[in-house]
């Protein structure tokens, strides 16, 4: 949508006042008063419990240490964004403006602009470290652009909170080459300086950042550049496609997808032949390499294209049939690869698919990739449920042994009396109950592939000695005698225990520890990861691949603050249960879909947070008034958590509706006439 089109949708001040009054009085908005996007944003803000004249309680603001961690996690984005922000800041200099970069969670990371206006903006926390999601700040350009994924202008009184009405803000989302949201570029200023071209400047800046990120990630590979005119190639208005040597489209910028009428779900699946009718052999052998030529799209229109780069890259090991362009948009989206690691990531293999934007996970994926195919054992450590086996399988599927077997053994699950036979195999008649034909054992079954020993810290000491001998000699001797059999496998071990402590306690052999600890990777627990929202989106796709589901924003925030002792496994189980409790027509998970134990934990945490934010009672208040005040607070908190639903609030408080109504009257929260009193 152009800036001019947006201008035509700007509501007159009288309509804004009318809409605000109607929303406050009825909780609803009549169609036609506001632009539909602004109307939807105001209704979301109201549903979050915000009031135009009020301030949200408990608004999160990062400490200096937390902001430093976020800056480190987004260092690749910042490296490309800072020069663009400096350019934009120079264009709007002396206009009482700030250029701001925010992350996908709405946290402001970096700001440049006029010092005088920066001081004024700081009064409403428009500064690095503050979080500007709609649930905390109401309708605003950063939060609204994150909520619906599109560029937007929020000007003056269009802000839901009246205290932000002095601002005019234009924001545009920034996505990486896999389509994952990386953040938002925003230009904020004094509303008296509003200009319709500011949104165009913000969109252009976001496009420039995306262009630079694409080049940093894919510039050393095969890149197909597209534009309606040959003169548009090598400008920020060109479409970009990263190609594998077999023509699979590995990544694209927004314009590249737009030129070919594709969406991000096609990445890693669609081929350039399906999209343009030209094979890679034709492209490479037809003089297109470093030479512009005309290309025909599916609708018959022409584009100018040029293929750059000479180093082909392989795509994922799993072969995916080519699909025709009309069918591409219906494909289920592959897991998003989000924030970029420092190095260029290879094609969208299983390890790349685990990258959902957390800097710590990106680092361990990068280190794991560097030892694939080398005789170096991997040791994965971390709490139960963090995804150790998932990472082990991804390493196998991304390495040179991907076509061999992946044999996973849980050392804690096998009975001690059987683990030796299961691992090493046995000859016929080796022991009572043995199969008459014997068994080769799991170690031999892993020959040519990968052996994954999960919870190796629970392996009995006697078997640790036998395993060490196998790893040293690369031969397995079955129980009951017989010749040793050579084995060749990549070794990955995992444990939720800290094996170094187990060694010091003499519960684990020191020599075996150093044999399996070629490269140790500590997988962070869920509570320490910064990619919670992306993980939820991924797990929902896994649980319901044929439906597009989401989580209510308030609930998503509460889930993100939960400690998750069971980590990813626990979160996945909770989301699967929520999906099962959805009605057929429902597409959003809310509080009513939660298992009771999780709902109880989240409600207790929310009440504790709200109670901590309330001002302390003064000593001058007598004990009777003290109890009434506490009761009033509990009622208000329950109503806020239930979003005004009194039956739900009564259920949360564990009282009848009549009792709730009586407490509301005592607290001065008189319900409307006919509101259900008995």
In contact, 662 and 671? CB cutoff 8 Å: no
Model pLDDT, residue 503: 94
Distances (CA, A) of 551 to 166, 234, 562, 642, 655: 32, 40, 15, 16, 28
Model pLDDT, residue 608: 66
Band the pLDDT of 616: cuts 50, 70, 90: low
Band the pLDDT of 292: cuts 50, 70, 90: confident
pLDDT digits (tens, 9 = 90+) for 547-563: 889 999 889 988 998 99
* Structure tokens belonging to residue 13: 């001040």
Instruction: Find the DSSP H helices in 356-509.
Output: 359-371, 388-398, 416-424, 442-445, 461-473, 499-504
Band the pLDDT of 345: cuts 50, 70, 90: very low
In contact, 304 and 239? CB cutoff 8 Å: no
In contact, 442 and 467? CB cutoff 8 Å: no
Mean pLDDT of 510-520: 93
- Contacts of residue 453, defined as CB under 8 A and 6 or more positions apart, other chains included, come to 409, 411, 459, 467, 491, 492, 493, 494, 516
Mean pLDDT of 655-668: 77
% residues pLDDT > 90 (the chain): 36
Question: Hey, what's the torsion of the CAs at 104, 105, 111, 116, to 10 degrees?
Answer: 140
Model pLDDT, residue 60: 79
Model pLDDT, residue 456: 94
Is residue 167 helix, strand or coil? strand
pTM of the model: 0.49
pLDDT digits (tens, 9 = 90+) for 101-126: 999 889 999 999 988 898 889 888 89
Model pLDDT, residue 51: 87
State the number of CA atoms in the 13 A half-sphere of 674 facing the CB. 0
In contact, 267 and 331? CB cutoff 8 Å: no
Separation between Cα atoms, residue 313 and residue 269, nearest integer Å: 15
Separation between Cα atoms, residue 50 and residue 627, nearest integer Å: 27
Model pLDDT, residue 622: 46
Residue 621 has pLDDT above 70, yes or no: no
Model pLDDT, residue 116: 86
Residue 660 has pLDDT above 90, yes or no: no
Band the pLDDT of 574: cuts 50, 70, 90: very high
Residue 190 has pLDDT above 80, yes or no: yes
In eight-state DSSP terms, residue 289 is B
Residue 497 has pLDDT above 80, yes or no: yes
Among 206-210, 306-310, 349-353, 620-624, name the one with the lowest average pLDDT. Answer: 620-624
Closest by Cα among 399, 405, 393, 412 to 495:
412
Dihedral sign, CA of 105, 111, 117, 119? positive
Residue 520 has pLDDT above 90, yes or no: yes
Model pLDDT, residue 84: 94
Residue 1 has pLDDT above 60, yes or no: no
Model pLDDT, residue 10: 62
- The whole-chain average pLDDT of the chain stands at 81
Please give the residue that has the higher pLDDT: either 638 or 347: 638
Band the pLDDT of 200: cuts 50, 70, 90: very high
Mean pLDDT of 442-456: 90
What residues does 152 pair with on adjacent strands? 171
Please give the residue that has the higher pLDDT: either 333 or 371: 371
Of all helices (H) and strands (E), which one includes residue 661?
helix 657-666
- Contacts of residue 57, defined as CB under 8 A and 6 or more positions apart, other chains included, come to 610, 613
Question: Looking at the chain, how many residues does it have?
Answer: 678
% residues pLDDT > 70 (the chain): 84
Instruction: Find the DSSP H helices in 342-460.
Output: 350-353, 359-371, 388-398, 416-424, 442-445
pLDDT digits (tens, 9 = 90+) for 143-153: 999 998 999 99
Residue 325 has pLDDT above 60, yes or no: no
Question: Hey, what's the torsion of the CAs at 264, 268, 271, 276, to 10 degrees?
Answer: 20
Please give the residue that has the higher pLDDT: either 159 or 662: 159
Mean pLDDT of 163-180: 92
* Structure tokens belonging to residue 542: 């896994």
Residue 600 has pLDDT above 90, yes or no: no
Residue 408 has pLDDT above 80, yes or no: yes
Closest by Cα among 479, 271, 641 to 633:
641
In contact, 361 and 529? CB cutoff 8 Å: yes
Please give the residue that has the higher pLDDT: either 310 or 303: 303
Residue 674 has pLDDT above 60, yes or no: no
Mean pLDDT of 379-402: 93
Residue 647 has pLDDT above 70, yes or no: yes
């Amino acid at each position: 949508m152009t800036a001019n089109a947006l201008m035509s949708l700007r509501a007159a001040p009288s309509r804004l006042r009318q809409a605000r009054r109607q929303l406050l009085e009825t909780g609803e908005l009549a169609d036609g008063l506001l632009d539909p996007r602004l109307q939807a944003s105001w209704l979301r803000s109201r549903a979050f419990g915000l009031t135009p004249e009020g301030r949200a309680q408990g608004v999160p603001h990062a400490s200096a240490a937390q902001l430093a961690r976020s800056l480190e996690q987004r260092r690749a984005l910042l490296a490309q964004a800072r020069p663009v922000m400096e350019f934009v800041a120079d264009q709007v200099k002396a206009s009482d403006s700030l250029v701001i970069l925010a992350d996908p969670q709405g946290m402001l990371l970096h700001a440049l602009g006029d010092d005088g206006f920066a001081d004024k903006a700081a009064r409403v926390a428009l500064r690095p470290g503050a979080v500007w999601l709609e649930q905390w700040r109401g309708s605003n350009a950063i939060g609204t652009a994150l909520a619906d994924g599109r560029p937007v202008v929020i000007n003056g009184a269009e802000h839901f909170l009246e205290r932000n009405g002095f601002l005019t803000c234009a924001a545009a989302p920034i996505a990486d080459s896999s389509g994952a949201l990386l953040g938002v570029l925003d230009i904020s200023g004094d509303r008296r300086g509003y200009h319709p071209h500011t949104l165009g400047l913000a969109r252009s800046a976001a496009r420039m950042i995306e262009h630079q990120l694409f080049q940093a990630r894919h510039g050393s590979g095969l890149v197909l550049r597209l534009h309606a005119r040959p003169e548009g190639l090598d400008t920020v208005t060109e479409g970009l496609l990263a190609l594998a040597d077999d023509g699979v489209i590995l990544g694209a910028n927004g314009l590249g997808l737009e030129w070919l009428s594709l969406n991000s779900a096609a990445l890693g699946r669609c081929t350039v032949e399906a999209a343009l009718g030209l094979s890679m052999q034709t492209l490479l052998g037809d003089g297109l390499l470093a030479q512009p030529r005309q290309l025909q799209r599916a609708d018959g229109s022409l584009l100018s294209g040029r293929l750059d780069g000479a180093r082909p890259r392989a795509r994922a090991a799993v072969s995916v049939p080519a699909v025709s362009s009309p069918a591409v948009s219906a494909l289920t989206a592959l897991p998003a690869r989000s924030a970029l690691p420092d190095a260029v990531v290879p094609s969208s293999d299983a390890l790349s698919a685990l990258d959902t934007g957390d800097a710590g996970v990106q680092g361990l994926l990068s280190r794991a990739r560097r030892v694939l195919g080398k005789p170096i054992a991997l040791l994965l450590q971390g709490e139960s449920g963090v995804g150790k086996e998932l990472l082990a399988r991804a390493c196998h599927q991304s390495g040179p042994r991907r076509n061999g077997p992946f044999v996973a053994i849980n050392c804690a699950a096998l009975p001690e009396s059987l683990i030796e036979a299961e691992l090493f195999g046995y000859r016929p008649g080796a022991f009572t109950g043995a199969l008459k034909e014997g068994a080769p054992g799991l170690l031999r079954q892993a020959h040519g592939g990968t052996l994954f020993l999960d919870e190796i810290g629970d392996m009995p000491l006697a078997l640790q000695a036998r395993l060490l001998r196998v790893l040293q000699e690369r031969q397995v001797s079955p129980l009951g005698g017989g010749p040793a059999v050579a084995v060749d496998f990549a070794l990955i071990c995992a444990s939720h225990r800290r094996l170094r402590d187990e060694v010091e306690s003499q519960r684990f052999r020191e020599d075996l520890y150093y044999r399996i600890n070629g490269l140790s990777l500590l997988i962070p627990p869920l509570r320490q990861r910064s990619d919670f929202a992306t993980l939820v989106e991924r797990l929902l796709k896994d649980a319901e691949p044929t439906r597009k589901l989401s989580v209510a924003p308030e609930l998503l925030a509460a889930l993100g603050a939960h400690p998750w002792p069971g980590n990813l496994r626990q979160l996945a189980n909770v989301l699967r249960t929520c999906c099962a409790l959805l009605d057929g027509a429902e597409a959003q998970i809310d509080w009513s879909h939660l298992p009771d134990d999780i709902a109880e934990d989240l409600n207790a945490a929310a009440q504790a947070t709200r109670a901590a934010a309330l001002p302390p009672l003064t000593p001058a208040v007598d004990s009777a008034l003290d109890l009434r005040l506490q009761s009033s607070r509990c009622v208000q908190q329950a109503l806020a958590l239930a979003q005004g639903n009194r039956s739900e609030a009564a259920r949360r408080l564990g009282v009848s509706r009549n009792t709730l109504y009586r407490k509301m009257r005592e607290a001065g929260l008189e319900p409307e006439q006919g509101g259900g009193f008995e």
